Amino acid sequence: MKKIIIYTLLLTLVSGGGVALGFYIRNQTLNPKATIPTFFSRVLTFFVKKGEEVEDDLLYHDTNITDFITKGSTKTKVAVEGTVLSITLEPDGDYHMVVTNSVGLPLVTEFIPEIPSLPTPAIGDKVKIWGIVRFDEPHNWWELHPVIGWKKI
């Protein structure tokens, strides 16, 4: 009987330690600007699949560029409007295009070589640009990478 109790306690301790370590590691590797769910909310939503609705997956959500630069987005696909400030060819083949607004905040967007049919606009063009939301952790900023499309406005 003592062995069963000891094994049960040992199993509980090891399992609990593994779960706690998993939560700790996950919290350390998340985007620092993201809202981290509490333990209680994780337990309650463990079996619930969450994600964007079907119609959300098909749309690029118009987003204020200042809000996007400062807060990011909960949407996967967004569209922003701004003026092209600079375009730079990076060593990895991506074109980094910096778009700014009237406030002067810069937003980095990236054109990738895997979409060769998408030309870059000219510096000074006022554009609406849409793409996939990413948080660039080494630079600690939100960006559109890759850019899926754009139009001059």
Dump pLDDT digits (tens) for 95-126: 999 999 988 889 999 999 999 889 999 999 99
Q: Which domains does the chain have, with CATH numbers?
A: 2-44 (no CATH), 54-152 (2.40.50.140)
Taking only Cα atoms into account, the Rg of the chain, rounded to an integer number of angstroms, comes to 22
Cβ–Cβ < 8 Å for 130, 147: yes
Nearest to 98 by CA among 137, 42, 136: 136
- Counting Cα atoms < 13 Å in the Cβ hemisphere of 85 gives 15
Is pLDDT above 80 for 132? yes
